[in-house]
A and B are shown apart, each in its own frame.
Chain A
Amino acid sequence: MAVQGPTLDIGGAVLMKPRPSPASRGYWQSVGRRLRRDPVTLICAGLLVLIVLASIAAPWLGLADPYKTSMVRRLYPLGSPNHWLGTDELGRDMFARLIYGGRLSLFMGVTPVVCALLIGGLLGITAGFVGGRVNMAIMRVMDVFYAFPSVLLAISLSGAMGAGTENTLLSLTLVFIPPICRVSESVTTQVRGFDFVDAAKASGASALTIVRVHVLGNVLGPILVYATSLISVAIILAAGLSFLGLGVKPPEPEWGLMLNTLRQAIYVNPVLAALPGVMIFITSICFNLMSDGLRAAMDVKA
């Protein structure tokens, strides 16, 4: 049905005043609408926001001191008075340590992916857009990193550089650059072959303008979706490095490291020893489901 505006009376003739048709919803608006209708993604996003906020606000939540040890109160079971999630092998409050642990665990999982997204994305888009020898050079270097299983690469690099948060971040970033670069390269190569890029070239647009206007808009979506799917891998890998003693150093609270130190308690208080892993599991499952939801909402092919 045509949209009818108010009538105008001009000299006896009744004219229809045309009303502008409603602006078509933009791409991002429709993505947002689809996301709002996806309960699983919303619940996961809510849970993640809760976990992130709790770990950021940990010092102001009135929690017990996560560093305060006690020789008397070691390995209290769940549901103990004042320590409702019990205490760890050094008598520190588990609930406080689990909340505080989110700070480092999340930070060490998300940061490498963000860094790798910037570096790998830039390299991949360059390789895909410029093509030719530049593409060859960049992608052959990436092939070298692809010759290692990712866990092995992360552990060998961290192992050689020594334990520590910075080294873990560095080695994880190196692990995630090649896959992001490869995905960016293949999407960019596809987009470059489209007619509108040729049209822009023919109309005399500079390479930078074409990248900024035509390529980035079409390429960023798939790359971002792919990067979010890597976050859960990164969180598990970062926790794994700390679990091996290669990441965060004690006494910092961090989920992977806590799993390691609590292993001595599996005969005394097994449920307690498994708790930090539950946190990793919940976080990683939420990131995976959210990434799936984003992929569906943004209509990106796997």
Chain B
Amino acid sequence: MLLYALRRLIYLVPVAFGVSLLVFALVHLAPGDPISAIVPPDAPKEVVDKLKEYYGFDQPLPVQYLRWLGVTLTGDFGTSIGTGRPVATEVASAFGNTLILAIAATVLAFTLAVILGTAAAYAKSRIVDRLVTLISLVGVSVPHFWLAIVLVIVFAVELGALPPMGIGPENSTGWRLDGAHLAHMVLPTIALSVIPLGVVTRTVRSTVKETLSMEFVTALQAKGMRDRQILFHVLKNAAPTCLAVMGLQAGNLIGGSILIETVFAWPGTGFLLNSAIFRRDLPILQGTTLVLAGFFMLLNLTVDVIQTMVDPRIKRG
């Protein structure tokens, strides 16, 4: 098991190298040279040259890349052009906020999805099955940022029941466990959970249905096992497939939260990324993308390892 995890980790090295190349390239994809983002267009040429030298932009690209990689690996992501604060600090505080929202949405989506999907697979009546299929279809088809706006319109504007934006009262920037902060979380969590809810419900429904038609279920029934215990066996067999999809969805949810955070002005990585793009704050853009991609890779690795733990049929390593 440990050996397998280690091997997967080693296998991640070339991928991580590719990711770092891509993130490094982000700065050079930008129109004009990277310096033009921070100096006024009428700046004298000597100042521009000096700045180029200061940031190392006068070096050839491979040298620039190696330099950047060396500094980044020590945890120094540079300085934000907009605020002048270290990128690492900015990204770290935003990432915490995103993670809270993502965990809440993941728990909500996966719990509902397992219940709905299993219910649909077991359902004798077509109506229940159809209804669940409809829910999952809506989940994968609805533009989630639009749903976020509709939620704001209904619950904040019309009913006045929940706050429309922000992480907490009085421009609070950090999350705390209290009623006001929880109230601010409700709408973003719902909006963020629709896509994973749709996708995972679909997977759970089809996987459980497939498992139910397997011979071992008939054998267990013939043995006289109680339905509740059979359900346990069925879920255990359906778990690996569902887990794989869930892991992917949990990661995508972190990326998808960019739009939701923008609608709700939730001070997370998405909101940070969005404002960085419009301030042309390239270090923040780079840092946020790198942290999110790194997190996504580690998440996928974890899911893979958990999968081998759950499913003894998969012998890896």
Contact = CB atoms under 8 A, between A and B. Distances in A.
Interface stretch (B38-46, B59-67, B290-298): B290-298
Give the size category of A's interface with B.
35 or more
Contacts of B146: 259, 274, 276-277, 280-281
Interface stretch (B49-57, B82-90, B109-117, B137-145): B137-145
Interface in B234-291: 251-256, 258-259, 262-263, 273-274, 276-278, 282, 285, 289
Contact of A148 (B30, B277, B285, B293): B293
A156 interface: yes
A160 B30 contact: yes
A143 B21 CA distance: 13
Contacts of B252: 149-151
A289 B137 contact: yes
B18 A160 contact: no
A232 B150 CA distance: 20
Contacts of A302: 206
A159 interface: yes
B150 A277 contact: yes
B14 A155 contact: no
B217 interface: no
B247 to A, nearest CB: 12
B17 to A, nearest CB: 8
Given A144-B19, A150-B252, A161-B30, A285 B274 contact: no
Interface stretch (A49-57, A91-99, A198-206, A236-244): A236-244
Contacts of A263: 149, 263
B297 A243 contact: no
Contact of B140 (A144, A243, A259, A288): A288
A46 interface: no
Interface of B: 14-16, 18-19, 21-22, 26-27, 29-31, 137-138, 140-147, 149-150, 152-153, 157-158, 206, 251-256, 258-259, 262-263, 273-274, 276-278, 282, 285, 289, 292-293, 296-297, 300
Nearest to B294: A147
A170 B139 CA distance: 27
A141 to B, nearest CB: 7
B252 to A, nearest CB: 5
B131 to A, nearest CB: 15
Contacts of A144: 15, 18-19, 21-22
A160 B137 CA distance: 33
B293 A147 contact: yes
9 contacts: A147-B293, A147-B297, A151-B258, A155-B277, A232-B140, A243-B145, A277-B143, A284-B143, A302-B206
A216 interface: no
A300 interface: no
Interface string A162-186: 1000000000000000000000000
Interface string A253-266: 00010010001001
A66 B274 CA distance: 29
A158 B273 CA distance: 12
A149 B143 contact: no
B259 A147 contact: no
A280 B149 CA distance: 14
A89 B131 CA distance: 38
Contacts of A289: 137
B141 A149 contact: no
